[in-house]
A and B are shown apart, each in its own frame.
Chain A
Amino acid sequence: MTKRRNAGCNAVDHHVTRRNFMGTGAMAGAMAGFGGLLTPSMAKEMKSGQKQILQVYLQGGVSQFESWDCKPGTKYGGPFRPISTSVPGVQICELLPYTAQKMHLLSVVRSINLQTDDHTVGRLFMEKGRKNGDYPFVGAVASKYLTAADNPLPGYVHITTRGLVDQTAGFLESKHEMMRLEGVKPPTNLERPKDLSKSLAIRAEGLRQQLNQQFGGKRSRALIDSYDTSFEQAQQLMARSDLFEKQDEKELDRYGRHWFGRRCLLARTLLEQGVTCVKVTHHGYDTHAENFNFHVEQLDEFDKTFATLLGDIEDRGMLDNVLVIIYSEFGRTPKVNHKYGRDHWGKSFSIALGGCGIQPGGVVGATNADGTEVSDREVDGAHLFHTYMQAVGIDSQSDHTLDGRSVPIGDPVAAPIKELLA
């Protein structure tokens, strides 16, 4: 495996390829200052250049049999049947009829083997591209290298309900840490306290900046700048509480009025506003019992909403710049247990992805007839991480530069899945 290191250089120059240069360099100038968030024209310009990521995380481990890799009529195939999609010859589970009509925008990887059946290990591997170590998540890396320097919005937002506590930025600056939104509610403490007057708040902020300057006089600015950014992001969010206010009724009709529909609608808004990586979690796939009834319910909720979101991203001309990933920490066992459940299974499962930098309409890899093991083109979290990075124009085979040290962005022993890259 060839390693490409760029030690001694300005890391960003190497990490960000020409394709997304406009998203960082030129746009940085256009968005300098904090007079407000993105104007429509700026948003449009951003859309034309900034690479973004939408992660749809099916928490708990969606069953590959009931989604992307049907095995009808086989020993472990379960009760559901495959359906045709908008890509001739590619079939997915009948529980995804709306997504099936968008498959010309997506590709499927059916040959993932993480060699773990553990939720945490699987989740971290799928996010960090490494099985071990304090590495940053996909969203944090995207935040660092794809977010325009003056973009006041957080680079990495996760819309979820449950609080899974992960150090998502790893060794990167804290400003790339995931900002977690609990559903479509605004972040806590977004509003100025009622007993704090506006003038007092301004004076307090002035004092904070003054203290920062004094403290940072002879010290490295990196940490202080990072905190400054966090404050500034918070201030900008306080000015944009409208992002979290009542959602458009007609849009909710399209997306669904359930929590996942509302989250996906907010995700679209955040992408439109220029957040670099938006992660939306759909809970409820850890189906040790009632796997089939739960997949009927959960995928029924997921399918139409996700297809609507994907269609909107496409309709707005954003799909060339937004990498869309639908994934879990693992799949589910071929064997159906006595509770009609499927248990954890990281040995042979699937994801789907599309949009920015991804060749659509493809199927990579395969499992054997019963779905018990990968039979072709085995990949793991490291290969996927490289692929995501390359798709959005980050050279995953180069390095992070940290106080003079170089750390490979992607695991050097793995490589991107080249046949997936556009």
Chain B
Amino acid sequence: MRFDETQTSEMNDAAPMPEESGKPDPTKAKELKQFTHGEALTNCRLDPSGKYVFAGAEDFGVYRWEVETGEKVIYRGAHDSWVRRIDFSNDGKQVLTSGWDGRVVVWDVQPESIQTVELPVEQSESEEDSEPVEPKVELVVDKPVRVVEAHRGFSRWVHAGPNGKYIATCGNDKIIKLWDARRWKLKKEFVGHGRHPYAVMIHPDGESLVSEDLMGEIFVWNAKTGQRTRELKSVMTGFDNKFQADMGGARDMAFNADGSLLGCAGITNVVNSFAGQQDPIICVVDWATKEISSHLRTKSNSAGVAWGVRFHPEGFVVGAMGNQNGKGTVEFWSLAEEEASESAAPKEEAAGCDEDTAPEEPVEEKKPREIKPFHVVEVSKPVRGIDFTADGRRFVIACSDGSLRVYEM
């Protein structure tokens, strides 16, 4: 019995993980290993222990790889569509997956029972006299802890709140929902997005939620009253004049550790979104003022989508890009950086998005700073998700070719 050997490839043969020394340095980021899957991946998350990485794929499965050994476990049977978003319960024992089927599924990170399923052996006639081929096996988890029919239409997002009490979800019914985390009883609904909300997060203080929709509208909600307390119009949307449709919204959202900053990853400067011609962008929201303080731009200005954003423990911001040209990048920004040059400023057409909300009086308007990355890691395929270990030394990325790549820095 053997595992499929093609699913793990070590960059350094049998080499142990590099020793940790000094602070994590993005300029020294190096790919350590790569796991592969037969279908394109849609997202990835490291469990809080850093031992496992979970990924969704363009099939109906959720996949768990053990980072050190490459052992792959398939979680299946509960979703009948693609999984878009993955999160973990506050104690790290359960993994939550939300999908295009409208469901949120709760699984054990380390289930008591993992089935070993033999795969059929394909043996050619010419091999009749040769040694019998050892069958390949799959490790399968097919019993979820809970299946929640969370939304009518696509459940785009699931986020477990900081105190373990609540879970936030959003979906194509345009409703933000807050659930009791223990019993999955619906506590409150937040209604107001005119278009599909793409992501929702519970603030680390547990007092408020923030959500963003297709039109780049960022709403802050009071978790107790359900009232909308702030509306921000971001540049993360655009109307494609040629094809007459809107595209935008947060493809990823993250708070920093103390909740003082929110990052929203997505697109801006829509030219022809039907061909993927728009700029990736990460908008950083200053939570104290509830204003968008920074626009993080890519180094190359390549057309594409920002699919991931994380705040590193060392204070910099990390973004994952899937580019129109079939490649990807992981980019690093310092929020202390000087504003980027003129050339990085948004194009005139897209900048107009904010004009409607501009004050009539010529008061000094504080525009978001335009910031360029201080370092870029090139990736051979578009990146669709990124996550860091708690110590910030390793990160994993999910790619459109089905590869899951582990980096150390």
Contacts and interface: CB of A to CB of B under 8 A. Distances in A.
A81 B100 CA distance: 9
A289 B322 CA distance: 11
A293 B247 contact: yes
B66 interface: no
Contacts of A69: none
Interface in B299-331: 305, 322, 324, 326
Given A294-B247, A296-B154, A284 B80 contact: no
A189 to B, nearest CB: 24
Contacts of B1: none
Interface string A84-126: 0000000000000000000000000000000000000000000
Contacts of A259: 244
A80 B101 CA distance: 7
B240 interface: yes
B248 to A, nearest CB: 10
Contact of B324 (A72, A162, A289): A289
Contact of B274 (A78, A79, A161, A286): A286
Given A80-B81, A287-B274, A289-B273, A338 B326 contact: yes
B246 interface: yes
Interface string B204-248: 000000000010000000000000000000000000101111110
B256 interface: no
Interface residues of B, number: 33
B200 to A, nearest CB: 17
B324 A296 contact: no
Contacts of B240: 284
B58 A297 contact: no
A73 interface: yes
B381 interface: yes
Contacts of A297: 196, 214, 245-247
A289 B82 contact: no
B80 A81 contact: yes
B368 interface: no
Contacts of A293: 247
Nearest to B84: A79
A60 B243 CA distance: 9
Interface string B380-409: 011000000000000000001100000000
Interface string A277-306: 000000111111110111011100000000
Contacts of B274: 60, 284, 286-290, 294
A187 interface: no
A338 B275 contact: no
Interface of chain A: mostly helix, strand, loop or mixed? loop
A283 B244 contact: yes
A412 interface: no
A194 interface: no
A81 B81 contact: yes
Contact of B60 (A60, A73, A288): A73
A283 B243 contact: yes
B304 to A, nearest CB: 8
A289 B99 CA distance: 20
A294 to B, nearest CB: 6
Contacts of A78: 82
A339 B381 CA distance: 11
Contacts of B40: 336, 338
A365 interface: no
Contact of A298 (B82, B196, B245, B382): B245
A162 B274 CA distance: 16
B80 A72 contact: yes
A75 to B, nearest CB: 8
Chain B CB within 10 Å, residue with most, of A73, A80, A284, A289:
A289
A170 interface: no
B60 A290 contact: no
B244 A284 contact: yes
Contacts of A408: none
A209 B27 CA distance: 81
A40 to B, nearest CB: 35
A341 interface: yes
A50 B242 CA distance: 36
Given A72-B80, A79-B100, A339 B246 contact: no
A290 B100 CA distance: 14
Interface in A318-362: 336, 338-339, 341
A293 B40 CA distance: 17
A79 B275 CA distance: 20
A58 to B, nearest CB: 11
Given A294-B247, A297-B246, A339-B382, A79 B276 contact: no
A339 B276 contact: yes
A288 B273 CA distance: 9
Interface string A59-87: 01000000000001100001111000000
Nearest to B278: A289
B103 to A, nearest CB: 11
B382 A338 contact: yes
A102 B72 CA distance: 45
Interface in B164-195: 172
Chain A CB within 10 Å, residue with most, of B246, B273, B324:
B273
Contacts of A286: 243, 274
Nearest to B195: A297
24 contacts: A78-B82, A79-B154, A80-B100, A284-B240, A284-B243, A286-B243, A289-B274, A289-B324, A290-B247, A290-B274, A294-B247, A294-B273, A294-B274, A296-B153, A296-B154, A296-B172, A296-B196, A336-B40, A336-B58, A338-B382, A338-B400, A339-B305, A339-B382, A341-B276
Interface of B: 40, 58, 60, 80-82, 99-101, 153-154, 172, 196, 214, 240, 242-247, 273-276, 305, 322, 324, 326, 381-382, 400-401
In the A-B complex, the 10 residue pairs with the closest CB atoms: A289-B276, A79-B100, A338-B400, A284-B245, A79-B82, A284-B243, A283-B244, A339-B276, A79-B81, A338-B382
